[in-house]
Amino acid sequence: MAKYKQICIGIDQSYVNTGVSVSAEGVLKKVTSIRLDKYKTNSERRKVLRNQLFHIINRIESLADEVVCVIERIRLRSQGFINIDYIKSIGALNSIIVDVMHEFGIKVYSVDTRCWKSQVIGTSKPCKNKYNVPDEKWPTVLWCVKQGFKSDILIDMSNSRKTKGVFIDKQNNKMMFNNDAADSAAISMFWFVGDKDKLKVEC
């Protein structure tokens, strides 16, 4: 007998770092991400994402009567402009997600960024912070911390030359918040707390 009635996989997809989180019965269970920027081509990144998603689904599909997936909807305009190259590349990434989920009989839905932020986090407005997290990402990071997943989204950057988004903690360690993982966590929770009429079936 399955442990849960429903599990939702939330995905914040990108070729740099794809956030993948799992919620069950309205409770956040797993917050993580798949780093893809270390691979040379987008084809390699899509292959890695495909393999990692298979691994994740194989571990959780038997835990629930129904598993669904919610991804972030493609933004057609960025700063007022239509970026055709971006739309094509993310569309290819989305097709990998949809195809993998289809093999397991999992329906995929998309949700608008402002929609999941306002309904799960409570706001879609940016907020300044002292941790060098992009202002538009901070409310979601803070929400994820409050859910008890700070250690899951806090990355030790001591061995990295990266400076953007990095801060020094009280122990003088170089750290960074994984805002992609945090985004995916909130997206996974949208299925349970958001307005499902705002979801669009992806196929």
Domain with 23 in it: what CATH number?
A: 3.30.420.10
Split at pLDDT 50, 70, 90, the class of 84 is: confident
pLDDT at position 80 over 90: no
Q: Is residue 71 part of a domain?
A: yes
d(CA 130, CA 132): 6
Q: Is residue 152 part of a domain?
A: no
pLDDT at position 79 over 70: no
Q: Is residue 134 part of a domain?
A: no
What pLDDT sits at residue 86?
A: 87
The 10s digit of each residue's pLDDT in 124-158 is: 999 999 999 999 999 999 999 999 999 999 999 99
Tell me the C-alpha to C-alpha distance, in Å, between residue 159 and each of 52, 72, 155, 168, 174: 25, 31, 11, 13, 9
What pLDDT sits at residue 171?
A: 93
The 10s digit of each residue's pLDDT in 29-64 is: 999 999 999 999 999 999 999 999 999 999 999 999
Split at pLDDT 50, 70, 90, the class of 196 is: very high
In sign, the C-alpha dihedral spanning 4, 181, 37, 199 is positive
Percent composition of the chain: helix, strand, coil (DSSP 3-state, to 5): 40, 25, 35
pLDDT at position 78 over 70: no
Tell me the C-alpha to C-alpha distance, in Å, between residue 12 and each of 18, 112, 178: 6, 11, 12
Q: Is residue 75 part of a domain?
A: yes
What pLDDT sits at residue 76?
A: 73
Domains in the chain, number: 1
Range of the domain at 51: 4-125+179-202
CA-CA-CA-CA dihedral for 190, 102, 63, 140, to nearest 10: -20
d(CA 75, CA 12): 13
d(CA 120, CA 139): 11
d(CA 24, CA 63): 9
pLDDT at position 166 over 80: yes
pTM: predicted TM-score of the whole model, two decimal places: 0.95
Q: Is residue 172 part of a domain?
A: no
Q: Is residue 190 part of a domain?
A: yes
Q: Is residue 162 part of a domain?
A: no
Instruction: Give me the mean pLDDT over the 182-202 stretch.
Output: 98
Q: Is residue 150 part of a domain?
A: no
